[in-house]
Structure 1
């Protein structure tokens, strides 16, 4: 009796590994399938986005790469973009990693790919992990893995400038069937806002003008970087901005045209000293979405007022942004009284409890420009 040699089949195990240039086409296919909208993305454009934002940014750190999920057959079924930013905490350098977008195919999701990707990311060598594009499901996963919700940064504020136009746009966005009616009523909205702005006194709708003699000018990354150590000194935790990073950031943000035109100005005081700057997108619906405000302590209210005046001159119906602790007084002084939950949640995870404590206590400078909310991923579709 002879025994036939047993046939041995080597089984692969699902794995999480760093994204490489060889994975770009497969990752683009995953993103296309998961986030497909009414129209398909151009493959070359989506692949270029993955390469540019994951492998080529100035803060790329091979120790904290973007991640892919590979199944037992060696197929890529999930992807997590990771960007790294140099930070300063209590005067010492640390690394912050920001996640998003996060995509898994249905068959990979059923095998726990999303949990594996997130666990691997949060277990990386970075000192602080954040995301500001999370939904409730993402929040649940982060908190199950030791993360926390940054409640302060999950709130938003709004300053109405042209309430009738804002209301009509809001109705059209929430109820697409009513858009023809909203479009026809647009001239009436303009008349109502004009009348209201003429009749209401004490700056109810029109932003108040600053009493300080401030000079606004175009953003200059070199000047911004030079002033940043002085402007950021009051926060325990803040980005370590340099000229090259700021130039890259402004260039990338300007290319995200789906959010509207990126508008930014830097502000000098009467002595010529750079006192701060502001950045916002003026969306196609004429809403100013604030990405970042920087101000020295002596000119907080004036720089915030400059932002409102600039948006008002450009015909914005409202200015809105994410709440930051130091903005509370300027918001109050400038009649930004309507607060709401931001459309996406901010989440944090840190190796040291004092880092997350600084975020929760409002001792951290973390804006939308430092997260993933602004990135042009959706624009690729």
Structure 2
């Protein structure tokens, strides 16, 4: 399917486009380095061989008059359920345009083509400021609760060094200096950012878990959300398998909590390591024990030597994050659109499981390397 667009046109992604999409991705997000073969194969897998792939719900490309690929918007198909009712959903991600100054309308055309698709609800949890502006020009505002990116610092100097490494890898030579400086700050008593083990949960008991135990906990706890993925175990394992490979963020940690009678009460997974700013992939619990979960999460990450911890919007954790010295900032924005207002209500109330493993952040295209 193709739509004429002035100096170019928008059409569905084809298999022959994959190498060009990988080059565009590398030029846009990875400073124009040589395209790794692993990146080409990965783009093919997640956009064309996704287990929920549907022919009428494909990613879109913008091509010039001579057929050259100049833009792309990735479409991740999703199957949700609203209180048992199947919902066809799609997430938009990895939007990019070659020479946007020469193709100023290409991004907007790609977005409109995505929104015109057959899905019941259109979503994104990774819109940057530019993409957000395009959504808003179509009168589609961001969802504040799911757009609240947050950061909790434990070791400020090491956190600054780790942040610098993302732009300048050679800054890693400063890690020993960062550790020494944080140790001095801690001894002076000036910093109150570190945590005490006494902050851990009282009503529930957390422990390290296997990936299998974490997956079973996710399936169980997700049932409390009225709008949630239509997962079975095999499908959830596919998403977790992709997330597990994101080692540029550190090693994965799986944790679950049990109540006093042995029932599964909470779970979370994050990536981290000594001197790193860790990243929360997913956290699930009942609202009444959200504070216990955040306490255990922070104590565990701090005890593992993380310089800090960050994450995307988890509305059921927001209050507890605020009261535990997390700071909030705009980094990636969440937008949802549907003509069916009933699909938007759980999102507006923060009762939808549509982020992390249920959204886009499982993919290695966000925050991972392919070298």
1:304 equivalenced with 2:304 (yes/no): no
Partner in structure 1 of residue 312 of structure 2: 322
Q: Contact conserved, 1:148 with 1:347, CA < 8 A, in 2? A: yes
Name which of structure 1's ranges 245-254 and 203-212 shifts more when overlaid on structure 2: 203-212
Partner in structure 2 of residue 151 of structure 1: 144
Shift of 1:120: 0.7
**Pick from 16, 38, 42: which aligns with 1:22?**
16
Name which of structure 1's ranges 134-143 and 359-368 shifts more when overlaid on structure 2: 359-368
**Pick from 25, 31, 40: which aligns with 2:34?**
40
Q: What is the distance in 1 between the residues matched to 2:172 and 2:314?
A: 37
Q: Which has the larger radius of gyration?
A: 1
Q: TM-score, normalised by structure 1?
A: 0.82
TM alignment of 1:355-366, pairs within 5 A = 355-366=343-354
Q: Which runs of 5+ in 1 are unaligned?
A: 1-11
For 2:369, what is the secondary structure of its paired residue?
helix
Specify whether residues 298 and 186 from structure 1 end up closer, same or farther in structure 2 by C-alpha distance, changes over 3 A only.
closer
**Pick from 254, 257, 268: which aligns with 1:267?**
257
For 1:102, what is the secondary structure of its paired residue?
strand
Q: What is the distance in 1 between the residues matched to 2:169 and 2:131?
A: 31
Q: Contact conserved, 1:79 with 1:103, CA < 8 A, in 2? A: yes
Shift of 1:370: 2.9
Q: What is the distance in 2 between the residues matched to 1:72 and 1:174?
A: 37
- Superposed CA deviations along residues 33-63 of structure 1, whole A, max 9, x for unmatched, are 4344163222x22210111111122222222
Specify whether residues 336 and 87 from structure 1 end up closer, same or farther in structure 2 by C-alpha distance, changes over 3 A only.
same
**Number of corresponding residues:** 363
Specify whether residues 213 and 90 from structure 1 end up closer, same or farther in structure 2 by C-alpha distance, changes over 3 A only.
closer
Specify whether residues 14 and 337 from structure 1 end up closer, same or farther in structure 2 by C-alpha distance, changes over 3 A only.
same
1:257 equivalenced with 2:250 (yes/no): no
TM alignment of 1:139-288, pairs within 5 A = 139-167=132-160, 169-170=162-163, 172=164, 179=171, 182-183=174-175, 185-192=177-184, 194-195=186-187, 205-207=195-197, 208-212=199-203, 214-221=205-212, 224-225=215-216, 228=219, 231-282=221-272, 285-288=275-278
Name which of structure 1's ranges 253-262 and 187-196 shifts more when overlaid on structure 2: 187-196
Q: What is the distance in 2 between the residues matched to 1:359 and 1:13?
A: 38
Q: TM-score, normalised by structure 2?
A: 0.84
Q: What is the distance in 1 between the residues matched to 2:104 and 2:154?
A: 49
Specify whether residues 283 and 367 from structure 1 end up closer, same or farther in structure 2 by C-alpha distance, changes over 3 A only.
farther
Specify whether residues 194 and 204 from structure 1 end up closer, same or farther in structure 2 by C-alpha distance, changes over 3 A only.
closer
Specify whether residues 56 and 267 from structure 1 end up closer, same or farther in structure 2 by C-alpha distance, changes over 3 A only.
farther
Specify whether residues 187 and 97 from structure 1 end up closer, same or farther in structure 2 by C-alpha distance, changes over 3 A only.
closer
Partner in structure 1 of residue 334 of structure 2: 346
Q: What is the distance in 1 between the residues matched to 2:42 and 2:226?
A: 33
Partner in structure 1 of residue 90 of structure 2: 97
Q: What is the distance in 2 between the residues matched to 1:296 and 1:33?
A: 43
